């Protein structure tokens, strides 16, 4: 038995060293290392490199790493507040993920290494020993688009053990995102597991569809194969996502134990997904009781009637008034003061004020970033259902 384990261990290491004897011979690098005081040390073994830098969302500009006598380059950060961070090395001018860190996340065409500082806001983003919901990659047919499409569905812990009906949050991504974005970048699964377990959030089904109607699934999961992801796809924000949205709601109500009424439905989205949430919720005013616009791409002045060939965007004021008359329980708008969409959100709120439409507004610091959207989600969830 022991021989076998030794053999298996050997074969594993052998398969790794085939390419690079140097790594095998040297001791293993641990990077990043999070210290007790939440300083973080990043290290890269690169004896032959001439320049190694670090870039990350906790730095305002790249910093240089320092090389030791063994050829290990390292940098130790300041004390970092609790957050989920991403970073890259720049090795002789080439931006790379940290080879010692297998945890990374793709944001459109960039892949970045990840780490998490706990003890604060990021505690919600950790996998913890609470009851876990189920994550489902579900294909469905959209009759309107005449297409098989993929979405991510979360059912809460306990869903399989009872016969109850659950409310549903439809959670939409931004431009460049897909049905993986809210789980991968937004840590939506962990936020839901943790907040439901703590009793702060009602158990709910969360549906994360793909908001690019020209796309059947996220890059790598469609018949496009391993083609390079594209930021702005055809039919982006031209009304087709909104007009085909009832296909998704119909599928979910038919296949999951939902509360299939307005009282049991919420919709929220970030950036383009906020734009979609705005237009879907006003187009179907009896469909959603809770609406969340996170850094939403709402630019009423830039969507004059007739600018796009979609009746979805026509008669906006009248539709918004009608939606408001149906008295949704919550119309929540959140944006950061540094967001490039901040001004258009000011204008949108002015329009809502003029139309006497109710909403709740939350203003954060910073801009158009996942850090804000994770926080907005964790603020929105306790307010619904």
Query: Which lies closer to a second copy via its Cβ, residue 221 or residue 359?
Result: 221
Annotate 180-206 with DSSP letters as a single string: THHHHTT-HHHHHHHHHHTTSS---EE
Burial class from Cβ neighbours inside 10 Å (0-12, 13-18, 19+) for residue 128 reads: middle
How far apart are the C-alpha atoms of 194 and 375, rounded to whole Å? Answer: 14
How far apart are the C-alpha atoms of 335 and 345, rounded to whole Å? Answer: 8
Q: How far is the CB of 18 from a second copy (least distance, A)?
A: 7
Burial 207-242 (b: 16+ CB within 10 A, else e): bbbbbbbebbbbbebbeeeeeebbeeeeebbbbbbb
Q: How far is the CB of 335 from a second copy (least distance, A)?
A: 13
Q: How far is the CB of 338 from a second copy (least distance, A)?
A: 11
Q: How far is the CB of 286 from a second copy (least distance, A)?
A: 26
**Phi, psi for 225 (deg, rounded to 5):** 65, -140
Q: How far is the CB of 195 from a second copy (least distance, A)?
A: 16
How far apart are the C-alpha atoms of 35 and 116, rounded to whole Å? Answer: 12
Annotate 57-70 with DSSP letters as a single string: TT-SS-EE-EE-TT
Query: Which lies closer to a second copy via its Cβ, residue 229 or residue 292?
Result: 229
Question: In terms of Cα–Cα distance, which of 254, 211, 264 is closest to 233?
Answer: 211
- Label each residue of 100-128 as H, E or C: CCCCEEEECCEEEEEEEECCCHHHHHCCC
Q: How far is the CB of 14 from a second copy (least distance, A)?
A: 9
Contacts of residue 33, defined as CB under 8 A and 6 or more positions apart, other chains included, come to 40, 41, 43
Q: How far is the CB of 272 from a second copy (least distance, A)?
A: 7
Which DSSP category does 177 fall into?
Answer: -
Which DSSP category does 362 fall into?
Answer: E
Q: How far is the CB of 250 from a second copy (least distance, A)?
A: 14
Q: How far is the CB of 327 from a second copy (least distance, A)?
A: 29
- Longest Cα–Cα distance of the chain, Å, equals 78
Query: Which lies closer to a second copy via its Cβ, residue 218 or residue 384?
Result: 218
Q: How far is the CB of 75 from a second copy (least distance, A)?
A: 14
> How many other C-beta atoms can be found within 10 angstroms of the C-beta atom of residue 75?
20
Query: Which lies closer to a second copy via its Cβ, residue 254 or residue 355?
Result: 254
Q: Are 179 and 185 in contact (CB under 8 A)?
A: no
Question: In terms of Cα–Cα distance, which of 143, 303, 135 is closest to 208?
Answer: 135
Q: Are 234 and 214 in contact (CB under 8 A)?
A: yes
């Amino acid at each position: 038995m022991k021989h076998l384990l030794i053999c298996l261990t050997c074969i594993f290491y052998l398969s790794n060293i085939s390419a690079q004897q140097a790594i095998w011979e040297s001791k293993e690098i641990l990077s990043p290392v999070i210290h007790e005081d939440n300083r973080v040390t990043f290290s890269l073994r690169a004896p032959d490199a001439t320049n190694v830098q670090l870039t990350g969302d906790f730095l305002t500009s790249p910093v240089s790493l320092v090389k030791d006598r063994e050829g290990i380059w390292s940098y130790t950060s300041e004390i970092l507040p609790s957050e989920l961070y991403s970073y890259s090395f720049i090795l002789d001018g080439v931006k790379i993920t940290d080879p010692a860190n297998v945890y990374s996340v793709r944001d459109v065409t960039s892949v970045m290494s990840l780490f998490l500082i706990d003890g604060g806001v990021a505690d919600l983003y950790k996998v913890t020993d609470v009851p876990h919901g189920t994550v489902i990659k579900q294909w469905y047919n959209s009759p309107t688009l005449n297409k098989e499409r993929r979405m991510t569905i979360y059912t809460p812990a306990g869903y399989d053990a009872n016969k109850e009906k659950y409310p549903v949050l439809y959670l939409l991504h931004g431009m460049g995102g897909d049905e993986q974005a809210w789980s991968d970048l937004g840590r939506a699964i962990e936020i839901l597991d943790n907040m439901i377990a703590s009793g702060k959030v009602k158990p709910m089904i969360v549906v994360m569809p793909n908001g690019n109607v020209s796309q059947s699934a996220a890059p790598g999961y469609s018949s496009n194969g391993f083609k390079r992801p594209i930021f702005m796809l055809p039919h982006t924000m031209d009304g087709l996502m909104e007009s085909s949205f009832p296909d998704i709601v119909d599928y979910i109500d038919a296949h999951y134990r939902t509360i299939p009424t307005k009282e049991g439905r919420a919709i929220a989205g970030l950036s383009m997904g906020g734009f979609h949430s705005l237009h879907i919720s006003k187009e179907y005013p009896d469909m959603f009781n809770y609406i969340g616009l996170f850094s939403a791409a709402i630019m009423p002045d830039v969507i004059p009637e007739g600018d796009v060939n979609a009746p979805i965007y026509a008669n906006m004021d009248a539709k918004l008034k009608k939606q408001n008359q149906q008295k949704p329980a919550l119309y929540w708008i959140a944006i950061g003061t540094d967001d490039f969409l901040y001004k258009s959100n000011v204008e949108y709120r002015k329009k809502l004020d003029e139309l006497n439409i109710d909403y709740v507004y939350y203003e954060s610091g910073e801009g158009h970033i996942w850090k804000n959207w994770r926080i907005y989600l964790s603020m929105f969830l306790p307010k619904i259902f």
